[in-house]
Structure 1
Amino acid sequence: MAPLRPSPQLAARVGEAPCATEIPATPLTAIDAVDLALCNNPQTREVWAAARVQAAQVGVAQAAWLPGLDARLSTGRTVSEGRGTNQSSAALTLSWLVFDFGQRSANIENARQLLNAAASTQNATVQSLFLAALQTYYTAQATRAAVISTGEAERAARESFAAADARYNVGVGTPADRLQAQTALSQATLNRIRAEGDARNALGALANAMGFDAQQRMALAEIPAVMPDAAFQRDVDALIADARARRPDLQAAEAQVKAAEASVDLARAQGRPTLSLATDPTWQDVGGVVSNGGNVGLTLNVPLFTGFDTTYRVRSAAAQAEVRAAQRDRLRSQVALDVWRAYQSLTTATQSLKTTADLVASAEQSERVALGRYRAGVGTVLELLTAQSALASARLQRIQAELDWNVFRATLAQTMGALDYTLLQPAAEGRP
């Protein structure tokens, strides 16, 4: 009855492998990062153990349907007036609750629904960890790309400074042009140093998310160029309906409601009569005299008055059911908001990705033209520095757009309750 580890919804990966304990020697992919994070994070072990606990509770509830059998064996010696007598006895007692007006059925239903809630909670937790690992991985990739971008900006600034210095040395440039170019070079160097620090911090955060020390060395695999598509662009009402049918946290809330309703039935049944069957064959040996006996009987227990205990138990269980129902309804509303926000964020990221591609292309062309004009003596250093600054900004916006698209795509899948390894398979296999 216990759910699979770590989650039945994450079994879509082809060729399941046991949990890894070390960072692979090859460059780290997104799948590697998620694998390590799920294997090493204590929350996955916690929710899996909690699900196994609840599965055992179902077995405990089912045990009430089976009869109980007890054995008793005793031996002793009685001494009276100097004479001793050996005594031995044995007995078996079979007891079976024949009818209880629904107590056991309600208890089993309660345990089963709590098991469903535990399994759904496990799935929701694993998907949250999955998303967090992806966010950390893509952030590390973005900071690495920022290092490359700021390095390119520094190279361009150094090239501009060399051109300004050459013009100054031959007497066709002004000291102000040279100083502006030198200032731009220093700023570009500072930006590159900061980007390298951010990249180191991001790698440390990724190592920590995967369960390793922050100083652990690793290399990131190249990720394919982002190829946005419109596959996610469906009717929002349909997306929300799918999310409400698939979200594991909503499924857990629904199971909690059903468990609370079963608790109401259980509380009512506990105030009703019970009918039990008992039999106990016995054997006794007293001083060599052996006797056998036994009893068979039915016991009807009718609770006449319990100090209103049953009444208040029913009221408490009914109120708890109302609490669970309200929590479920609140979560249903939150699911719609989550899907709406993730959908709009991904739509914006997709549009931004296409726009930033054009922005980088035009900025690169503008920078080449400005550099050529300055070298030819028909442009100013201010025009060149402005073009280079615009190019550096465009490249960083492109990096941010790629990060946003990857993260929001995973976020939409998570809000839909469909985040698993299939999201990463196309990227891992090099398919668009």
Structure 2
Amino acid sequence: MKKLLAILCLLPTSVLAATDSCRTLESVPEGELTLQQVIELGLCRNPETASAYLSLEAAHFNKNAGYGQYLPSVSVSGSASLPYRNQEWSDWSYGASISASYLIFDFGKRLSDVNQLIDTWRATGFDYSESVQNYVYSIIGAYYALLNADADVLTAQAVKDVSQTAKDTADTKFKAGAVAKADVLKADVTLSSSILDLERAKNNREIAKGNLLAKLSFPSEQEIKIADMPSDFGTEEENKNIDELISEAREKRPDLLRATANKDAAWHRRNSAFLSNLPSISASGSLSWNNIPSDVFNAGQDEWSGSIGIRASMPIFAGFSNMYNVRAAQANYERAKEQERLTVDNAMLDVFTAYQNYKTAQMVLKQTDVLLASAKESERVTAGMYKVGKATMLDWQTALADLADAHKQNNAAKYDLFTKRAALALAIGDIKEGLMGGETDE
């Protein structure tokens, strides 16, 4: 169960060092925030994970309450009465009593009940762990989406600057009589298109920023500065084979562990239903004191009285409800086993799919790096050729369009790789693997 909170323990606390509670923050902390700091901030403020944690706490207290069956049950009572007979009030009479009972033997039903509560608590803990990991994954996706949008804005600005250079060059050459008016018009079209692309990129950036802020429970109109990821993050050197990943998933994935815990709880629930039909033996004792006035009937009885005894009980007939309860518990146990099998099958497919997507994302990033380098060189050469009259404005326009497209593909591939890495970490049930690699290793 301690592993459930590992993600909370591994994240740095520098973001909130100067605050008593991050939940009371009304604005985003100043300065550039890393991915770990953003995740920590979100976990502190997110109501969904807080709700899951409170469910875990409730299951924990229910489990502790189950141990009460192994302790005696003690109760006390007191009384005071004023009799009225024959139109006269008698004196007050008083009484007090204490009684205790203890279940001696029940063929293990108490143990089954407690084990059921323990497994339910474990299942709730894994549910909380899954809620945390899913939320962290959503934060990671929003974080990378904002980085991608930032990169697209920079790319669009760079393309606009180059388009402006092309426009200025075309104007200069037209004034010198070296090119026709058509080149100037084409340069105007290219510049206008690049300005439009820049505005669209800024709009997409605002949307991505608002999405991240909403996940952190801040107003979407606020600003947030986030740090980029290192270039060596998500390289092939850190890859594991599919068998290792599946083995990790069986040990760490919360939904698999929850399904197993639910199956175990159903098994103990079935046993408890069966054992409820067997005899139980309990001991009891009581002690009472009464102070009755002398003029009251039975006034001569002892002021102190008590009793001890042993009681055995066994249900004989309850309208067949006990039999059907056992059958229902057995059916629920079989159902829990099938659900565990289904969860395992789905989990293995998730791991395989995430693994293939991650490997593909690595190859795509490599190819887009090559594409971007080629597009940059092509645009540089074409620009030089146009300036000396060896290329047309259409050639330069084509090179600019290819460069802009290559930048966008490279940005998308870079941050898609980061997202796919986080998706693979989520698939094996260890989301911290999708953060900063070696910095979070235990």
Compute the TM-score of the two structures, normalised by the length of structure 1: 0.93
2:388 matched to which residue of 1?
376
Q: Does structure 2 retain, via aligned residues, the 8 Å contact 1:79–1:85?
A: no
Q: Which residue of 1 aligns with 2:397?
A: 385
CA distance in 2, matches of 1:252, 1:273: 33
C-alpha distance in 1, partners of 2:13/2:171? 60
| Aligned position for 1:145 | 151
Q: CA deviation at 1:358?
A: 2.0
TM-superposed deviation, 1:177: 2.1
**Counterpart for residue 200 of structure 1:** 206
CA gap 1:74/1:228 in 2 versus in 1, 3 angstroms: closer
Deviation digits for residues 251-294 of structure 1 (CA, Å, limit 9, x no counterpart):
11110111111110111111111111111112222226652221
Q: Distance in 2 between matches of 1:298 and 1:266?
A: 23
Alpha carbons 2:233, 2:437 under 8 Å: kept:
no
The Cα shift of 1:132 comes to 0.4
Which string of whole-angstrom CA distances, capped at 9 and with x for unpartnered residues, describes residues 355-410 of structure 1?
Answer: 22222122111111100000001111121111111111111111001111111111
Work out whether residues 121 and 249 of structure 1, in 8 Å CA contact, stay in contact via their aligned partners in 2: yes
Residue 224 of structure 1 deviates from its aligned partner by 3.0
1:85, 1:427 → 2: CA distance?
Answer: 81
Asked if the contact 2:98–2:288 (Cα under 8 Å) also holds between the matched residues in 1, the reply is yes
Is 2:264 the partner of 1:258?
yes
Equivalence for 1:39 = 44
**Residue 215 of structure 1: which of 217, 221, 234 is its match?**
221
Match of 2:72 among 67, 70, 79: 67
3-state DSSP of counterpart to 1:73: strand
- 3-state SS of paired residue (2:102): strand
Corresponding residue for 1:155? 161
After superposition, the C-alpha distances for 1:36-84 in whole angstroms (9 at most, x for unaligned) are 2211111111110000100111122111111111112212233445472
Give the Å deviation of 1:226: 4.5
In the alignment, which of 240, 254, 271 is matched to residue 248 of structure 1? Answer: 254
> 1:321 Cα deviation (Å)?
1.4
Q: Give, in angstroms, the shift of residue 229 of structure 1.
A: 2.1
Do the aligned partners of residues 427 and 262 (structure 1) sit closer, same or farther apart at CA in structure 2, a change above 3 Å counting?
Answer: closer
Picking from 338, 342, 361, the partner of 2:354 is 342
Q: TM-score scaled to structure 2, two decimals?
A: 0.91
Deviations 1:93-128 (A, max 9, x none): 111111122221111011000000011111111011
> Match of 2:304?
292
1:111 and 1:382 mapped to 2: Cα distance? 74
Aligned partner letter, 1:260: A
Alignment partner, residue 100 of structure 1: 106
AA in 2 matched with 1:154: K
Return closer, same or farther for 1:336/1:4 CA change in 2, 3 Å cut-off.
closer
Q: Which residue of 2 aligns with 1:7?
A: 5
Contact kept, 8 Å, 1:36 with 1:211, in 2: the verdict is no
Aligned to 1:363: 375
Judge conservation of contact 2:372–2:403 (CA < 8 Å) in 1: yes
Q: How does 1:415-426 map to 2 (within 5 A)?
A: 415-420=427-432, 423-424=435-436
Structure 2 CA distance, aligned partners of 1:286 and 1:335?
73
Give the SS at the match of 1:414: helix
Contact 1:6 1:48 in 2 (8 A): no
Please tell me whether the aligned partners of residues 7 and 122 of structure 1 are also in contact (alpha carbons under 8 angstroms).
Answer: no
The sequence identity of aligned pairs, in percent, is: 27
Q: Match for residue 308 of structure 1?
A: 320
Q: Which stretch shifts more, 120-129 or 234-243?
A: 234-243
* Contact 2:95/2:289, CA 8 A, preserved across alignment: yes
The CA distance in 2 between the partners of 1:348 and 1:356, in whole Å, is 12
Q: Is the 8 A contact 1:114 1:256 kept in 2?
A: yes
Residue among 189, 192, 210 paired with 1:183: 189
Kept in 1: contact 2:425–2:434 (CA 8 A): no
Once the two structures are overlaid, the 10-residue window that deviates more, 210-219 or 73-82, is 73-82
What is the aligned partner in structure 2 of residue 410 from structure 1? 422
Q: Which stretches in structure 2 are left out of the alignment for 5+ residues?
A: 295-299
User: Any conservation in 2 of the 1:54–1:118 contact (CA below 8 Å)?
Assistant: yes
- Alignment counterpart, residue 129 of structure 2, candidates 123, 126, 138: 123
Output the aligned Cα RMSD: 2.1
**Equivalent pair of 2:11/2:36 in contact (CA under 8 Å):** no
Q: Write the distance in 2 (CA, Å) between the matches of 1:119 and 1:74.
A: 46
- Structure 1 227/128 Cα, relative in aligned 2: closer, same or farther at 3 Å? closer
Contact 1:10 1:420 (8 Å CA) reproduced: no
| Aligned-partner Cα distance in 1 for 2:384–2:439 | 39
CA–CA distance in structure 2, aligned partners of residues 6 and 250 of structure 1: 14
2:82 aligned partner: 77
Please report how far the alpha carbon of residue 5 of structure 1 lies from its aligned counterpart in structure 2 after TM superposition. Answer: 11
For residues 233 and 35 of structure 1, what CA distance do their matches in structure 2 show? Answer: 26
CA distance in 1, matches of 2:411, 2:94: 87
Alpha-carbon separation, structure 2, partners of 1:83 and 1:190: 99
Question: How far apart, CA to CA, are the structure 2 residues paired with 1:362 and 1:383?
Answer: 15
| Larger displacement relative to structure 2 (324-333 or 120-129) | 324-333
Say which is worse superposed, 129-138 or 96-105, in terms of deviation: 96-105
For residue 422 of structure 1, report the CA deviation from its aligned partner: 8.0
Q: Hey, what's the Cα distance between the residues in 1 that align with 2:185 and 2:439? A: 46
Cα gap change, 1:47/1:225 in structure 2, threshold over 3 Å: closer, same or farther? same
Question: Can you give the 5+ residue segments of structure 1 that lack an aligned partner in the other structure?
Answer: none
Greater displacement, 319-328 / 369-378? 319-328
Q: Any conservation in 2 of the 1:6–1:44 contact (CA below 8 Å)? A: no
Cα distance change of structure 1 residues 285 and 174 upon mapping to structure 2, 3 Å threshold: same
Segments of 4+ in structure 1 off by > 6 A? 3-6
User: For the residues of structure 1 that align with 2:433 and 2:348, how far apart are their CA atoms?
Assistant: 24
